[in-house]
Amino acid sequence: MSQTDFPNIDMVSNQACLLTFGQVISDATSNYIAQVTQGLKSLAGIVDLVPSYTTLLVIFDDDHYDRFAIIKAIRHTIDAIDPNDFSLIDSREVVIPVYYGEELGPDINDVAAHCQLSVDEIIQRHSDTTYRAYAIGFTPGFAFLGNTPDELHVPRKTTPRLKVPIGSVAIAENQTAVYPSVTPGGWQIIGRTPVNLIDWGSKNLALIAMGDSVRFEPISRDEFLVQGGLLDGF
Amino acid sequence: MAFKVIKPGLLALVQDLGRHGHMSIGLTTGGPMDEVAFRWGNALLDNEPNSPQIEVTFGMFTLEAQANTSIALTGADLGTTLNDKHIPPWQTYAIKKGDILAFHQPVWGLRAYLSVKGGFLCEPTLGSVATVMREKIGGLTGKGDKLQKGDVLRYSLGHHHERRSVPRLAIPNYGQTEIPVILGYQYKAFSPLERANFFSSDYKVSPNSDRMGYRLEGKAVHTDLKGIISEGIAYGAIQIPKDGQPIVLLRDRQSIGGYPKMGCVTRVGGGILAQQKPGDVIQFTPITVDQAEQERHLQMARFAQWR
């Protein structure tokens, strides 16, 4: 199956169906999912859309559609979308300032040892890469960003932390993320951002949306404090 | 015009039908654990279907009325009393100023719904009052707090009390132990033997069950599928983690996950499951999407007839 073939549509329940866009995580698949998500937003009777790496969960009002009608409506919408036309996607580039280092990134020395790089090299490689938000979830505003460069691949911590402070920037396997709220977490923490990832009062609610490009920009301790960063939590 | 919270109980939450349309940023929906009971509460009082109610889990929750109104009680029988007289659920009651309404402890089921004429007045956050404590959103404060002693649950004045009750046949049976499961697209990841085990075994509700998910203990279910690429999770999805013990994901579920799923419980079935207490035993029974649609239509037709 090529990466932009018409998705499989499976019924999950009488109010949900899952669109599967192959089994390969790629930018092409991710773009197509973002387009279809955008296209389905304007369809009547759609309750919620949950895009992820290779799938899109469509939750619909079952007083509006039965299982035949929803599949027909989805097919009709997708038919009208050209997988190579990216104009539907409202994707942004988000830059996230990070105060890297062991003061607020207690795992950075372990990561450096594991990767056989210096701390400065870890920071440079992490902030030189442009990432893509492949999925949002786990907790509101938590964006799974990929892919980290091969040299930065580290396993998750054997024992997850019970409380990861807000704004912690972390890596695990081929992904990186920022913790938007205090939650348990097993990723390796290398720094912290002073920026809020989630704001119920803002228009988009979450700073990062699925499909966005994300870059990290190193800042000093002073800049971190000036931008409202907090040194608490560890 | 309000009820004042005298005793906050274990867990009493403001809920409506949920906060929809934000799962794409990872925000869960919240909403009533027993949707059928919730819908009847508003139907009995001719409220809008989404009018805010209080979901009382377990009990030990006491209110004092500061003005006359009408209420409906649905869902579990938590040994509820009005001025020390036991009042059974699934009907309306007239409330007078100074009345004491007390939910004691479970007699039948686990979660009771209190609705008031016109609905409780509460400022929505992102279009809903549904309280999700984990995400610190919704409820009286907008910050996801459960109800506290001294909280004031406002309602509007002016009503004409009508004594009404839910038709006997429409009242769910919380003693039902068979929970219907829509066989989803992933059940084939489980061998016929594993499926047979799943649908013929007893499962006990774990004490670690909550509004996010019901964890069950019993015959472990295995699959060769190691994990799947994380995907959106529908209401009622039955996740099978590595230890093989099923987790039914309910109102406060996370938005995405990477465990294989056996299927989905229906909203009616999920409501009955949510009325089970830790230690209660249930079985899963397979149904098709077609049967789930029929069950839903029958349910909604009952509300339509009532109106």
User: Nearest CA of chain A to the CA of B225: how many Å?
Assistant: 14
Same domain, A62 and A101: no
Residue ending a domain, among B133, B152, B170, is B170
Residue ending a domain, among A79, A111, A137, is A79
Same domain, B149 and B251: no
- What DSSP state is assigned to residue A188? E
* B192 shares contact with chain A (CB less than 8 Å): no
User: Nearest CA of chain A to the CA of B231: how many Å?
Assistant: 5
Domain range spanning residue B32?
Answer: 2-170
Q: Which of residues 127-156 of B touch A (CB under 8 A)?
A: 135-137
Q: Quick check: B138 and B30 in contact, CB under 8 A?
A: yes
Same domain, B33 and B164: yes
∠B98-B104-B107 over CA atoms, to 5°?
135
Q: Quick check: B156 and B1 in contact, CB under 8 A?
A: yes
Same domain, B40 and B108: yes
* A24 shares contact with chain B (CB less than 8 Å): no
Q: Is the pLDDT of residue B115 over 50?
A: yes
Residues of B in contact with A37 (CB under 8 A): 24
Same domain, B255 and B214: yes
Other CB atoms closer than 10 Å to residue A226's CB: what's the count?
11
Same domain, A109 and A154: yes
- Residue B104 confidence class, pLDDT cut points 50, 70, 90: very high
Residues of A in contact with B234 (CB under 8 A): 12-13, 15-16, 57, 59
* Closest-CA residue of chain B to A23: B229
Paired tokens of B239: 């996740």
What's the CA gap between B245 and B247, in Å, rounded? 7
**Single-letter code of the amino acid located at A63:** D
Quick one: which H or E segment has residue A189?
Answer: strand A188-192
3-state secondary structure of A41: helix
Percentage with pLDDT > 90 across chain B = 88
pLDDT on residue A88: 65
Percentage with pLDDT > 90 across chain A = 78
Contacts of B108 (CB under 8 A, 6+ apart): B76, B77, B174, B175
The residues that bridge with B81 in the sheet, in sequence order, are B86, B102
What average pLDDT does range B29-39 have in this prediction? Answer: 97
Domain range spanning residue A26?
Answer: 8-79
Same domain, A145 and A176: yes
Which carries the bigger pLDDT value, residue B20 or residue B259? B20
- Residue B43 confidence class, pLDDT cut points 50, 70, 90: very high
Query: For residue A164, what is the domain's CATH number?
Result: 2.40.100.10
Same domain, A130 and A57: no
Same domain, A22 and A137: no
User: Nearest CA of chain A to the CA of B123: how many Å?
Assistant: 14
What sign for the dihedral angle of Cα A14, B131, B279, B232? positive
Are the beta carbons of B26 and A51 separated by less than 8 Å? no
Same domain, B71 and B161: yes
What's the CA gap between A74 and A135, in Å, rounded? 21
Which of A18, A37, A204 faces B185 most closely, judged by CB atoms?
A18
pLDDT on residue A62: 93
Are the beta carbons of B230 and A141 separated by less than 8 Å? no
User: Nearest CA of chain B to the CA of A121: how many Å?
Assistant: 30
pLDDT on residue B304: 84
What's the CA gap between B300 and B36, in Å, rounded? 10
User: How many structural domains is chain A composed of?
Assistant: 2
Residues of A in contact with B264 (CB under 8 A): 12-13, 16
Q: What is the DSSP string of chain B?
A: -EEEEEEE-SEEEEE-S---S-GGGT------SSHHHHHHHHHHTT--TT--EEEEES--EEEEESS-EEEEEEEEE---EETTEE--SSEEEEE-TT-EEEE-S-SEEEEEEEEETT--B---BTTB---BTTTTBBSSSSB-PPP-TT-EEE----------B--GGGS--TT--EEEEEE-TTGGGS-HHHHHHHHHS-EEEPTT--SSEEEEEES----S------EE--TTEEE--TT---EEE-TT--SEE-S-EEEEE-HHHHHHHHTPPTT-EEEEEEE-HHHHHHHHHHHHHHHHHH-
∠B60-B77-B165 over CA atoms, to 5°?
130
The per-residue pLDDT for range B209-227, each reduced to its tens digit, is 999 999 999 999 999 887 7
Same domain, A158 and A50: no
Percentage with pLDDT > 70 across chain B = 99
Examine residue A177 and state whether it is found in any structural domain, yes or no: yes
Query: For residue B206, what is the domain's CATH number?
Result: 2.40.100.10
Same domain, B149 and B189: no
Same domain, A175 and A116: yes
Same domain, A105 and A206: yes
Are the beta carbons of A50 and B296 separated by less than 8 Å? no
Are the beta carbons of A50 and B237 separated by less than 8 Å? no
What's the CA gap between A114 and A154, in Å, rounded? 7
What's the CA gap between A19 and A16, in Å, rounded? 10
What's the CA gap between B48 and B118, in Å, rounded? 8
User: Nearest CA of chain A to the CA of B126: how many Å?
Assistant: 8
Query: For residue A15, what is the domain's CATH number?
Result: 3.30.1360.40
Q: 């990767």: which residue's tokens?
A: A115
Residue ending a domain, among B134, B151, B170, is B170
pLDDT on residue A67: 93
Residues of chain A scoring pLDDT < 70: 1-4, 88, 90
* B301 shares contact with chain A (CB less than 8 Å): no
Residue ending a domain, among A24, A53, A79, is A79
Examine residue A218 and state whether it is found in any structural domain, yes or no: yes
Same domain, B232 and B155: no
Q: H helices of chain A, where? A: 27-41, 67-79, 108-115, 119-128, 221-226
Closest CA relative to residue B37, chosen from B99, B108, B114, B151? B114
Closest CA relative to residue B255, chosen from B29, B34, B35, B15? B29
Report the Cα–Cα distance between both ends of chain A, in Å, rounded.
47
Q: Is the pLDDT of residue B182 over 90?
A: yes
Same domain, A75 and A111: no
Same domain, B137 and B286: no
What's the CA gap between B79 and B85, in Å, rounded? 10
What's the CA gap between B261 and B239, in Å, rounded? 5
pLDDT on residue A1: 41
User: Nearest CA of chain A to the CA of B50: how many Å?
Assistant: 15
Same domain, A120 and A216: yes
What's the CA gap between A215 and B303, in Å, rounded? 52
Paired tokens of A229: 């960063």
Residue ending a domain, among A52, A79, A106, is A79
What's the CA gap between A53 and A24, in Å, rounded? 8
Are the beta carbons of A59 and B254 separated by less than 8 Å? no
* Burial degree of A201 (CB within 10 A; 0-12, 13-18, 19+): exposed
What average pLDDT does range B230-252 have in this prediction? Answer: 95
The per-residue pLDDT for range B121-175, each reduced to its tens digit, is 999 999 999 999 999 999 999 999 999 999 999 999 866 899 999 999 899 999 9
Same domain, B18 and B162: yes
pLDDT on residue A2: 47
Same domain, A201 and A125: yes
Q: Quick check: B48 and B64 in contact, CB under 8 A?
A: no
* Burial degree of A77 (CB within 10 A; 0-12, 13-18, 19+): middle
Residue ending a domain, among B170, B200, B229, is B170
Same domain, B160 and B197: no
Closest CA relative to residue A30, chosen from A56, A1, A58? A56
